[in-house]
Amino acid sequence: MFIRLADWETGHEEIFAGMRKQLSEQGRELRTFRPEDELPDVKAMAGLAVFGIKPDPSDELTGGESRADVLKQAIKKEKDSIVFYKGLKEFISARAGKDKIDDIIEEEFKHIRILNQSLEQLE
């Protein structure tokens, strides 16, 4: 199950790489705000910076965790990802692929359901 979840996350990275390439190819028009676009919230931008910090997994997992502990930690990470992606949507125009972010958010909810089902099976 964790390998499958990791594969899905790798798919998200590929989506973002594609979006980045698309933005580069389509040029400045997609990367800049037009007068009718809403400017991003500065506090929201600052909050997203926290997600750029990659903690050392050994700081969070000791190796002594139960399966339930690992599943609970994975659920927390998925929820954190949803918060990040919802914040990220504020900075991406529909022209630049906002719908792709919605797709990723839906996948993250799917991951939470899968993890919750696995946790329930342990209990």
pTM of the model: 0.68
Q: Identify residue 51 by its one-letter amino acid code.
A: F
The radius of gyration computed from the CA coordinates of the chain, to the nearest angstrom, equals 17
CATH of domain 2-122: 1.20.1260
Residues 6 or more apart whose Cβ sits within 8 Å of residue 57:
none
pLDDT at position 99 over 60: yes
Q: What is the mean pLDDT of residues 76-97?
A: 80
pLDDT at site 112 = 94
Residue identified by tokens 């594969």 is 7
Q: What is the mean pLDDT of residues 42-65?
A: 64
pLDDT at position 67 over 80: yes
Domain assignments of the chain as residue spans, ordered by start: 2-122
Look at 26 and 63; give whichever has higher pLDDT.
Answer: 63
pLDDT band at 11 (very low <50, low <70, confident <90, very high): confident
Residues 6 or more apart whose Cβ sits within 8 Å of residue 23:
30, 31, 96
Q: What is the spatial distance between Cα 49 and Cα 51, in angstroms, rounded to a whole number? A: 5
Q: CA dist 27 to 9, 24, 90, 98, Å?
A: 27, 5, 20, 17
pLDDT band at 115 (very low <50, low <70, confident <90, very high): very high
Contact 107, 8 (CB under 8 A): yes
What would the pLDDT profile of 14-45 be if each residue is shown by its tens digit?
877 777 777 666 655 544 555 445 545 545 55
The pair of structure tokens assigned to 112 is: 């939470």
